[in-house]
Amino acid sequence: MQNLTELSANVTSPRNLSVIIKVCAVVPFFCIFLCCIVVMLHIFASHRQFLDSSRYILFASMLINDTVQLLFSLLLFVFVMGQVKFALIYCFPLLFISTATFQNTLLILATMSLERYVAIIYPLQCPPAWRSDRIWIIILSLWLLNCFSIIIEYSIGQHNSTVNIFLTPVVCRSAVVNSSPIQTFFKTVVNILCFAAVAVIILFTYVRILLQTRKLRQDRTSVSKAMNTVLLHGFQLLLCMLAFTIPITERLLVLQANWLIEDIAFFNYFCFILIPRFLSPLIYGFRDQSLRRYIWKIFLSPSNSVSEA
C-alpha cells in the first residue's frame, strides 16, 4: 500500500511542478501589466485634460476592458491548469465576461479610429455623439452589442439534459459551454464579421485622413500623428487576430511534436492571448507624448508625483 502511494506521488509530482511553473510564468506578467494600467488610470483621474478628451476616455475604457479580460482569462487558465471543477452555473459568468471583453476590444479599436477621423475632418464642429461628455453612450452601446451577441450564442445551443448546471462539476472551458455545432458556427461568423468590420473601418479612416491631408488647413503634424495612430490601431488589430491562430498551432503541435494538451494550452495562451493583450495598450500608452511625460514623472520621482496629485 505504501509503495502504491509513493508511486502515485512520483507520477503526479512532475505534472504538479509543471502547473506551478506555468502559473508562476503567467502571474508576474499580469501583475506588471496591472501595475502599468493602474498608473495610467491614476494619471487620467488626476488630470482634467484627459477627462475632457474623447480620445483618452476611449483609451481608458480599453485599459479597463483589457484588464478585466486578462483577469478573467487568467482565472480560467489557472482553473484549467489545476483541473479545478465546479458547477456549470458558475462557469457561465467567467466565460461570458471573458468573451465579451475580448470582442469589445476590437470594437473599441474601431471607435478610436473613427474618433481620430472625426477630430481631423471636423476639427471645429465635432458631432455631439463624439464629445467627451457623451462618448460614454457609444462605449455603453458597444458593451450592449457584445452582450447581446453572446446571449444569442449561448441560447441557440442544444444543452445536454443529463448535465445539471447547478450540481454537475466541470472544468470551465469554452468547449464545455459551446459544445453545439451551431454555436461554433455562430461564433465563427460573429468573429469573422467583427474582424472584417473593424479592419474596414481602420482602413477607411486611414485612407480618408490621407486623402484629406491636402484639403485641410490644419497643422500637418497633427494630421501625421492621426495617421500614425490609425496605423497603430491596425497593428493592435493584428495582435488581437493572433488569438485566432490557436487552432492552427494546436494542429501543428499535435502533428509535429508530442506535447501534452496542457502544454499546448499554455503555449497558445501565453503567446497568442497574454502577450498581445499585454503589449497592445502599453504600446499605445507609452507612445502618447502627454501620457508618457506623466508616466516618467511617476516612475522617476514618485514622491513629487504624489504631492502634485
Q: Residue 188 above 60 pLDDT?
A: yes
Cell output for 149: 451577441
In sign, the C-alpha dihedral spanning 126, 129, 131, 135 is: negative
Secondary structure tally for the chain: helices H, strands E: 13, 2
> Which residue's entry shows cell 488630470?
47
Tell me what pLDDT residue 14 has. 65
Reduce the secondary structure of 141-166 to three states and give it as a string.
HHHHHHHHHHHHHHHCCCCCCCCCCC
Q: Which residue has the higher pLDDT, 223 or 19?
A: 19
Q: Residue 9 above 50 pLDDT?
A: no
Would you say the pTM of this structure is higher than 0.75?
A: yes
Q: Which residue has the higher pLDDT, 105 or 276?
A: 105
User: What DSSP element (H or E) covers 86?
Assistant: strand 85-87
Q: Residue 96 above 70 pLDDT?
A: yes
Tell me what pLDDT residue 232 has. 82
DSSP secondary structure string for all residues of 22-44 = HHHHHHHHHHHHHHHHHHHHHHH
Average pLDDT over residues 46-74: 89
d(CA 290, CA 306): 18
Q: Which residue has the higher pLDDT, 208 or 177?
A: 208
> Which residue's entry shows cell 475632418?
121
Q: Residue 6 above 60 pLDDT?
A: no
Q: Residue 69 above 60 pLDDT?
A: yes
Tell me what pLDDT residue 26 has. 85
Domain ranges of the chain: 2-308
Region 2-308: CATH code: 1.20.1070.10
d(CA 59, CA 135): 12
Q: Which residue has the higher pLDDT, 13 or 110?
A: 110
Confidence band, pLDDT 50/70/90 cuts, at residue 64 = very high
pLDDT digits (tens, 9 = 90+) for 208-218: 887 776 665 55
User: What DSSP element (H or E) covers 171?
Assistant: strand 169-171
pLDDT digits (tens, 9 = 90+) for 259-288: 777 777 788 788 878 888 787 777 777 788
d(CA 31, CA 20): 17
Could you give the 3-state DSSP secondary structure of residue 87? strand
Angle between helices 289-300 and 2-46 (to 10 degrees): 120
